[in-house]
Chain A
Amino acid sequence: MNALAARTNTTPGTAQGPPPRRRTALVPTVTLLLGALYCLLPVAWVVIAATKSGRELFSTFTFLPGSGFADNLRDLNTYRDGVYWRWMGNSALYAGLGALLSTAVSACGGYALAVYRFRGRETVFNILLAGVLMPPVILAVPQYLLLAEADLTDSYVSVLLPLVLSPYGVYLSRIYAAAAVPADVVEAGRMDGAGEWRIFTRVALPMMVPGLVTVFLFQFVAVWNNFLLPYIMLSDDEKFPITLGLYTLLEQGANTPALYTLVITGAFLAVVPLIALFLVVQRFWSLDLLSGAVKS
């Protein structure tokens, strides 16, 4: 990845070129701001609710900030010796490593399907796609039973592995590879005597970066928010991801009321790493890798 990043940084972003005039495009900006407002309003509720104390949550005006954020944070921090942070770490591990592996696998598969013409290409592609037809809800139990055969349940691996292959990621990679990796570039690589693997890693991968970061982002969020698979697989709450951990705070039996304020504050904090990830990832969308690579 490092070599790749270094390479991309050396190709200057010639994106849309310097605009001739510095006037704001009004219609697009306003449209986007309206869209942002629509999307932000419910999210704002999570932020505001995280500041409310248990007393204020159900009794004050919905969008009125409360006074309990510091207390909520402290309660969350001390809840069972800070197990929340452990869940956060677990989620980061599942989502980070899972998305990385998933992106690598998607890149391989998508590249092969986009660049090569071989017998059974469409069949392979369709079979991979068909994997999403069976609802994941029903697959969790068989996946559990199969991993139990290998004695892998209740382990980090049991949550990581089933999510590595993402048909969505493969499809996306195929489309982006088809658009971003011109056949003549691959052909030129072969003329130079480069092996297929070398062409893939040195020439094609850098061109696919914008698409691959998208795959990574999607897969990261998908694993981060995944619930049912870890629910079935894990019994040890030290291995729980954040979604499952927060769920145990909501469902503590009738004797103990749900810890709403902890759950909301926890959910709010759990969105922060996703925002950070997005901010990092979106830098890669603005690189015009295609033209840079063709020129070099």
Chain B
Amino acid sequence: MRNAPYGFLLPPAVLFVLFFALPIGYAVWLSFRKVRVSGLGLGSGARTEVWAGLQNYTEALTGGELLHGALRVLGYGCIVVPVMLGLALLFALMLDTEKVRLASFTRLTIFLPYAVPGVVAALLWGFLYLPDVSPFSYLLGELHLPWPDLLDGGPLYLALSNIAVWGGTGFNMIVIYTALRAVPAEVYEAAKLDGCSPLQIALRIKIPMVAPSLVLTFFFSIIATLQVFNEPTTLKPLTNSVSTTWSPLMKVYQDAFGRGDIHAAAAEAVLVALATLVLSFGFLRAANRRSRQEGAR
């Protein structure tokens, strides 16, 4: 029994070392190196990999693009995370209500966007956002109302957030809903006998019971926000307002796959990971401390 937990942890540990730790280590190693070209750089032997020290890091930090991207992403995250998780919690609680109709239909429908592949997402949103083809713009036009330019300035953040909320609410809803299903029915029966209303049950019993799942969804939403890539990449072909380095991860991708500078990209990725570490684990720690305090009471 003493060794049992280690036995259970062996498969994830082995996989972690092979497919996370090693590649991460390799990426970190790459971040401290760079390519050195001699002469015209043509032919074999013209490129050598050399030690770069912190050069890639200082360039990433002083370049400005990464920091600007981080600021944009923080603004975006301030919209997405509360709205998405708020809706997810709301829907999950509603699904868990007695006598709710069409529950399995709505559950499926709200989850469905998560299943739409990114390959068609750009087309899809192009058809819904661009004023010349959008049915909503057409309807507003019939009502003689103007259609805002969704792909510029402040509305751009709403347009991006909308894609994220649309795609991610169902996912988080299922996480919370599954946790709600694990709460034994007896708990509610007792509360009902005490005369609690459904709203009171939701607020006083259900939400505290699923707190660990809420922490989980929050934790991963912070990470997903800081690593946001799909939503702006989806809108990029449609507008001049989203640059190829709009978010930090787009910059990483652009450097790795567009410019072919894996070393700079690795350094930026490490910085993104560190920022994510501070924010997400900081949150986790704060959440744990709070729950422990409450537990002590």
Contact = CB atoms under 8 A, between A and B. Distances in A.
Given A214-B174, A246-B119, A260-B123, A28 B108 contact: no
Given A42-B124, A128-B12, A243-B119, A175 B102 contact: no
A100 interface: no
Contacts of A124: 9, 13
B90 interface: yes
A85 interface: no
A49 B133 CA distance: 13
Interface string B140-176: 0000000000000000000000000010011100110
A121 B19 CA distance: 21
Given A15-B185, A62-B134, A139 B27 contact: yes
Interface stretch (A2-10, A68-76, A141-149): A141-149
27 contacts: A14-B185, A17-B185, A17-B189, A24-B101, A25-B99, A35-B91, A35-B110, A39-B110, A40-B109, A43-B113, A45-B127, A109-B9, A109-B11, A129-B281, A135-B272, A139-B23, A139-B27, A141-B262, A142-B24, A161-B19, A165-B12, A179-B183, A197-B4, A214-B178, A227-B118, A271-B117, A274-B115
Contacts of A288: 181, 184-185
Contacts of B216: 171-172, 175
B116 interface: yes
A210 B181 contact: yes
Interface string A186-205: 00001000001100100000
Given A165-B16, A165-B20, A278-B108, A210 B266 contact: no
B112 A43 contact: yes
Nearest to A41: B128
Contacts of A227: 118-119
B294 interface: no
Contact of A139 (B7, B24, B219): B24
B20 A175 contact: no
A204 B179 CA distance: 16
Interface stretch (B59-67, B72-80, B249-257): B249-257
Interface of A: 14-17, 19, 21-25, 27-29, 31-33, 35-36, 38-40, 42-43, 45-46, 49, 58, 61-63, 104-106, 108-109, 111-113, 115-116, 118, 121, 124, 126-135, 137-139, 141-143, 145-146, 161-162, 164-165, 168, 170-172, 175-176, 178-180, 190, 196-197, 200, 210-211, 214, 217-218, 221, 224-225, 227, 242-243, 246-247, 250, 260, 263-264, 267, 270-271, 274-275, 278-279, 282, 285-286, 288, 290-291
Given A16-B98, A134-B273, A46 B19 contact: no
A285 B180 CA distance: 10
Interface in B1-55: 1, 4-9, 11-13, 15-16, 18-24, 26-27, 30
